[in-house]
Chain A
Amino acid sequence: MEERRANIRRHDGRTLIAAACAAFAGIAHACELPPGTRVESARVAVSYLTIPAQIAVGQPFVLELAACSKQGPLPDRIRLDAHMPEHRHGMNYRATVVPQGAGRFHSEGWLFHMPGRWEFIFDLGSERLTHSVRVE
């Protein structure tokens, strides 16, 4: 019985340490990301870059994304899209997202077919981040 209590205490101790680490991470997690355009909320952050770097109207591009969570694990479900808020329409193409591991994602199928303001949409679970770019 004594041995069992000791196990429980040891187990509780590990749980407490893990909980403390998680809490610490939740408060002060640096959420380090590779260079790119950084967009973040209180819970998640992404850094993205496009290839080519300069988005041209009517020209396909690739998007490389890195994401991290400031609280808990990164959500499983990631969805990327873009639209033109003033025109109230999206892209004519559906971007695919391929996980590369370690919070990195490779996305193809991007094409902005009109000049003006486009808004990237990064859905990470229930968290939505947006970022506007002007394409000319």
Chain B
Amino acid sequence: MIRLAAAALLLLCAGPAWAQLLDFTEAEQRAILRHGPWPAPWTPDPSNRASGKPEAIEFGERLFFEPRLSPSGKVLCATCHAPYRGWQDGRARAFGLAEVDRNTPSLFNLRHSRWFGWDGAGDSLWAQSIRPILEAREMGGSQARAAALVRGDPEYACRFEKTFGAPPAADEGVLAGIGKALAAFQETIVSGRAPFDDFRDALSRKDFSSMKKYPEAAQRGLRIFVGRGNCSACHFGPAFTNGEFHDTGIPFFIKGGVDAGRHGGLKKLQSNVFNLLGPYNDDSSGASAVKTRQVAAEHRNFGEFKVPSLRNVAQTAPYMHNGSLATLADVVRHYSEINPDRLHSDGESLLKPLRLDAMEIADLVAFLESLSETASALPPRRPAAACR
């Protein structure tokens, strides 16, 4: 009886199984702190006058789930960006009306992006939201069809006018408005806090007891991530992306040719009437268009793809621009064994084979999994009342 009582007392005293705390160096601590705080401050998109407006968000949400934007009546934005799959589709390559060449990116935290799409052909979320509506293999729609839908549907026409202050008129302007409403909705898709955020914030407070709740494997993986793995050079900041483009040694051959990545994206950007240098940018200061005017097209852009955010990354398999890696462990192994000779870059010397052992690979995966939200940060969706 006395032994049992002593054992029970011991269990009570022990509490939850706490991890050992790694002795992170000052430099490591600084690097870790750069990945927060989360959530990051939100500001409206100056290029989109609908950004942040409740009526635009409601309008955009309806459009997001609207199959009539596609002539097939069967493909909607949510076909590929399924809310229950981390706002992507779980497929290697997206499939709308036909299979495309790239993996569907998740929609989490897009307000913090500078460029949109794997090739950055979009310089705003609203311009990027127009692209799949018109793309033959995705929704296969047209400017005229989308505009006619909004003009002809009293509910949409009302919502358009409430959002933009004027009824839907010319096709091109209506399509820009559709993109802006879709963007306003997608900007609300923010990932929640993850175990890593609790660890990072505890570190900023020097709250060692709270830090010990973070698993040791994740701590070891984090040390590789900010240290010899050099992962945080590109997966930088609170959103774990520097928002730019890199060649990571993933083959870019596709059926019948090559995927030029950023090189092709810049060409599409320059010829897009909806880019930020065009007439539909609502930012009268011009500041939002500086990136589009100043971006440099370089030979090395060929085969570069956007650095994705790693928040909620465990929810968004498969990985890489072509979905060729099925699991996070596969991704880590890819970087561990990367062949620098295959990198199509002008002397950039960032990626080197890490030669990680099995435990280190598992540790990095544990860290990446710790970037998954513990609770959704999405606002509750209420059925919107009819527009009047």
Could you tell me which A residues sit within 8 Å of B by CB distance? 57-58, 60, 86-89, 91-96, 108-109, 111, 113-116, 136
Contacts and interface: CB of A to CB of B under 8 A. Distances in A.
B128 to A, nearest CB: 18
Contacts, number: 60
A95 B290 CA distance: 10
Interface stretch (B74-82, B232-240, B358-366): B232-240
Nearest to B233: A114
Interface string B341-372: 00001111110000000000000000000000
A45 B292 CA distance: 32
A57 B237 contact: yes
Interface of B: 30, 34, 114, 232-234, 236-237, 242-245, 290-291, 293-296, 298, 300, 345-350
A87 B346 CA distance: 10
Contacts of A92: 244-245, 295-296, 298
A113 B348 contact: no
Given A57-B236, A58-B237, A114-B234, A89 B345 contact: yes
Given A87-B348, A89-B347, A115-B236, 20 more contacts: A57-B236, A58-B114, A58-B244, A86-B349, A87-B233, A87-B349, A88-B346, A88-B349, A89-B300, A89-B345, A91-B296, A92-B244, A92-B298, A93-B295, A93-B296, A94-B295, A111-B291, A113-B242, A113-B243, A116-B233
Contacts of A115: 34, 232-233, 236
A113 B235 CA distance: 11
A86, A87, A113: which has the most chain B beta carbons within 10 Å? Answer: A113
Nearest to B232: A115
A93 B294 contact: yes
B296 A60 contact: no
9 pairs of A and B residues whose beta carbons are closest in the complex: A109-B294, A88-B347, A94-B296, A113-B244, A93-B294, A89-B348, A113-B242, A114-B233, A58-B242
Nearest to B294: A109
9 contacts: A57-B242, A87-B349, A89-B300, A91-B296, A92-B295, A93-B295, A108-B290, A108-B294, A115-B236
Nearest to A116: B233
A60 B237 contact: no
Contacts of B300: 89
Contacts of A87: 233, 348-350
A58 B291 contact: no
A111 to B, nearest CB: 7
A60 to B, nearest CB: 6
A116 B349 CA distance: 13
Contacts of A95: 294
A89 B294 contact: no
A80 to B, nearest CB: 12
A119 to B, nearest CB: 15
Contacts of B290: 60, 108-109
